[in-house]
Structure 1
Amino acid sequence: MADKQISLPAKLINGGAAGIIGVTCIFPIDLVKTRLQNQRSGHQVYKSMFDCLIKTLRSEGYFGMYRGAAVNLTLVTPEKAIKLAANDYFRHLLAKEGVSLSLSKEMMAGCGAGFCQVIVTTPMEMLKIQLQDAGRLASQQLVSRVPCSVPGCKLVAVSPVQTRAYNVGPAVFPRRISATQIAAELLHTQGIKGLYKGLGATLLRDVPFSIIYFPLFAHLNKAEQDSMEERAPFIRSFLAGCMAGSVAAVSVNPCDVIKTRLQSMGKGRNEESYNGIIDCARKIWMKEGPSAFLKGAGCRALVIAPLFGIAQVIYFIGLGEFLIDLYQYRRLSP
């Protein structure tokens, strides 16, 4: 984020707080992004971002908009902490005293941070996507009246409970499943590699994202400053985080579409299965056209921009340092 040296505990607090606040604010849009990216041509339940938001709210209620949020809220602290700490570590490793990092070294530091974060990001995304996509699969089954028979659909099976859907009368609705149930099923059937399905695609997305984001943020944040040691104003850090996050998010959106498709175990009627990154990219290109790689790009930009803007706010405020100082003061006070 910034070049200021911060202790590891403070980084953990800053990263965790930024992640939790950010995820809580933008998660419904992230859910819409996942559902739009998983739609295939000819089997579209949602017409646009707003259509998806409205239908999800009507059929699943307010809390349905946060399906899968618990996974993110649980794992976002280590994910953000790893990303922050790794980027700072590699910047420090590549830096020479008194000399600012070159663009190539900033990109190398971002690359290292991207590689490190997938340890947590891959299982987090894997579990989140299963939960987020359950409503889309159930809606498609409802419209087509054909049950999903592809292996893995049992994780998003529907229950016989009747509820009111957004476009028809009484209908079945997705059975409430938890990330723990999905994780246990994957570990039982596939072992630890089940949680890391789509690892290559996650690397393909997160490494370029970090290569773009961290250098771009650093340069936008330091624009028009005379001294490298001078701290950027709050509003500039916020806007730099939003702008850098949006640019990086849209740039790697094709990789995010591939990752989402590979990590979605449940398939609807006539939906393709994929055998790796190349097979997935080829089938999407041939059957859905180049525009399919931009599905959810607007949603992803709306998710990432405030998420990283909020991260800069938390970093600017220095919540981690404040809490540590407060703890030390109370411990030493009589």
Structure 2
Amino acid sequence: MDHPMPAVSAKSTPTFPPDVRKCTSQREQKKSFKEDKPFSFLHVFWEGLVAGGIAGVVVEAALYPIDTIKTRLQAAHGGGKIVLKGLYSGLAGNLAGVLPASAIFVGVYEPTKQKLLKTIPENLSAFAHLTAGAVGGAASSLVRVPTEVVKQRMQTGQFASAPDAVQLIVTKEGFKGLYAGYGSFLLRDLPFDAIQFCIYEQLRIGYKLAAQRDLNDPENAMIGAFSGAITGAITTPLDVIKTRLMVQGSANQYKGIFDCVRTVIREEGTPALFKGIGPRVLWIGIGGSIFFAILERTKQVVAQTHTRTEN
């Protein structure tokens, strides 16, 4: 005896097995993700400018004495003594350069990263982070290098104020004096920026997948500290060479990057390339924790403010 088929009203919806519903839900989530708001370079650039500028200034002001000690350790030849006075020498002038430099870096990094992530396969996200870090570093170097030159000359006691330093450097060495060690700066900072931000971003991705939620401020700080400390240790020899070239002034003791490396090793030994590694790792580790925690928090605040103004 046949059983009558149940009537299905026009408003009723068919039911599917749990596994089919799960696959459908996953497809809808991916679809909604891909159909997110269109990429806005100017919006992301502006958010990066604000977040990067604030984070950079806070870190520089908080950790400047450690940076001064590191610079003096690296600049000292042989058994030269390290002076611990004037640990804040050049802070004001340096902040005037750090603000635009950090703003430009993050302002370029964020849209570059997001654009790359939208155009390359998901399994190549590390390439996007490496590339974006290098591009951001190159863009900000136009401001960062003169700032670094003036800062380090003041930290080593060559000048009393930033305006005097700029004036005398330009008078004695020409405008190119403000870009002393530019090649070594790029040699250090492009891999540094690329590696640090890649480690940070990849650790955040892994952590978020494991925790199944967004990270809080202490977690961002912890990951930032780890990525900063590791990158700082790896790139210390590059930092030593950069410091020697920047602080030599018109004496021209070194003819270039490779001559500097050979001279330092010949006169002081290979361990001299790791001078200041302790303060550098401490400074960048702590700085990374502060920078990334403030960066992520500021990005959230700026994004929320932008959303409210749109609504």
Asked whether the two chains share a fold, i.e. TM above 0.5, the reply is: yes
**Separation in structure 2 between the aligned mates of residue 206 and residue 129 of structure 1, nearest angstrom:** 16
Asked if the contact 2:184–2:257 (Cα under 8 Å) also holds between the matched residues in 1, the reply is yes
Aligned to 2:18: none
Report the 3-state secondary structure (helix = DSSP H, G, I; strand = E; otherwise coil) of the residue aligned with 1:66.
coil
Is 1:18–2:55 an aligned residue pair?
yes
* 1:285-296 aligned within 5 A: 285-296=265-276
User: Scaled by the length of structure 2, what TM-score is found?
Assistant: 0.77
**Separation in structure 1 between the aligned mates of residue 176 and residue 280 of structure 2, nearest angstrom:** 27
**Separation in structure 1 between the aligned mates of residue 94 and residue 141 of structure 2, nearest angstrom:** 14
Aligned to 1:247: 230
The CA deviation string for residues 253-285 of structure 1, in whole angstroms up to 9 with x for no partner, is 101101110111369xxx981111111000011
Asked if the contact 1:10–1:324 (Cα under 8 Å) also holds between the matched residues in 2, the reply is no
Larger radius of gyration: 2
Is 1:120–2:143 an aligned residue pair?
yes
Is 1:215–2:195 an aligned residue pair?
no
For structure 2, the residue ranges without an aligned partner over 5 or more in a row are 1-38
**Separation in structure 2 between the aligned mates of residue 320 and residue 236 of structure 1, nearest angstrom:** 15
**Separation in structure 1 between the aligned mates of residue 151 and residue 300 of structure 2, nearest angstrom:** 27
The CA deviation string for residues 7-41 of structure 1, in whole angstroms up to 9 with x for no partner, is 43332222122112111111111000000001111
How far apart are residue 249 of structure 1 and its match?
1.1
Is 1:130–2:110 an aligned residue pair?
no
Aligned to 2:101: 79
Is 1:315–2:298 an aligned residue pair?
no
Asked if the contact 1:10–1:320 (Cα under 8 Å) also holds between the matched residues in 2, the reply is no
Asked if the contact 1:14–1:318 (Cα under 8 Å) also holds between the matched residues in 2, the reply is yes
How far apart are residue 109 of structure 1 and its match?
1.9
Is 1:325–2:305 an aligned residue pair?
yes
Q: Which amino acid aligns with 2:68?
A: L
Q: Which amino acid aligns with 1:26?
A: L
**Separation in structure 1 between the aligned mates of residue 199 and residue 300 of structure 2, nearest angstrom:** 24
Report the 3-state secondary structure (helix = DSSP H, G, I; strand = E; otherwise coil) of the residue aligned with 1:226.
helix
Higher relative contact order (CA 8 A, sep 6+): 1
Asked if the contact 2:237–2:273 (Cα under 8 Å) also holds between the matched residues in 1, the reply is yes
Residues 1:95 and 1:262: Cα distance change in structure 2 (over 3 Å): same
Aligned to 1:172: none
Q: Which amino acid aligns with 2:76?
A: Q
The CA deviation string for residues 217-269 of structure 1, in whole angstroms up to 9 with x for no partner, is 011122242399953222221111111111111111101101110111369xx
Residues 1:184 and 1:95: Cα distance change in structure 2 (over 3 Å): same
Instruction: Identify the match of residue 45 of structure 1 among 81, 89, 93.
Output: 81
Residues 1:239 and 1:195: Cα distance change in structure 2 (over 3 Å): same
Matched pairs, number: 268
**Separation in structure 2 between the aligned mates of residue 309 and residue 128 of structure 1, nearest angstrom:** 23
Calculate percent identity across the aligned residue pairs: 31
Q: Which amino acid aligns with 2:45?
A: L
How far apart are residue 207 of structure 1 and its match?
0.6
The CA deviation string for residues 145-191 of structure 1, in whole angstroms up to 9 with x for no partner, is xxxxxxxxxxx3xxxxxxxxxxxxxxxxxxx6211111112223333
For structure 1, the residue ranges without an aligned partner over 5 or more in a row are 47-54, 135-155, 157-175
**Separation in structure 1 between the aligned mates of residue 132 and residue 44 of structure 2, nearest angstrom:** 19
**Separation in structure 2 between the aligned mates of residue 183 and residue 245 of structure 1, nearest angstrom:** 30
Asked if the contact 2:48–2:299 (Cα under 8 Å) also holds between the matched residues in 1, the reply is no
Aligned to 1:137: none
How far apart are residue 305 of structure 1 and its match?
1.5
More helix per residue:
2
**Separation in structure 2 between the aligned mates of residue 12 and residue 91 of structure 1, nearest angstrom:** 14
Q: Which amino acid aligns with 2:81?
A: V
Is 1:197–2:180 an aligned residue pair?
yes
Residues 1:323 and 1:218: Cα distance change in structure 2 (over 3 Å): closer
Aligned to 2:161: 178
Please, what is the CA RMSD of the aligned residues? 2.9
**Separation in structure 2 between the aligned mates of residue 224 and residue 181 of structure 1, nearest angstrom:** 48
Instruction: Identify the match of residue 89 of structure 2 among 57, 67, 71.
Output: 67
**Separation in structure 2 between the aligned mates of residue 108 and residue 69 of structure 1, nearest angstrom:** 31
**Separation in structure 1 between the aligned mates of residue 161 and residue 209 of structure 2, nearest angstrom:** 52
How far apart are residue 66 of structure 1 and its match?
0.3
Asked if the contact 1:19–1:307 (Cα under 8 Å) also holds between the matched residues in 2, the reply is no
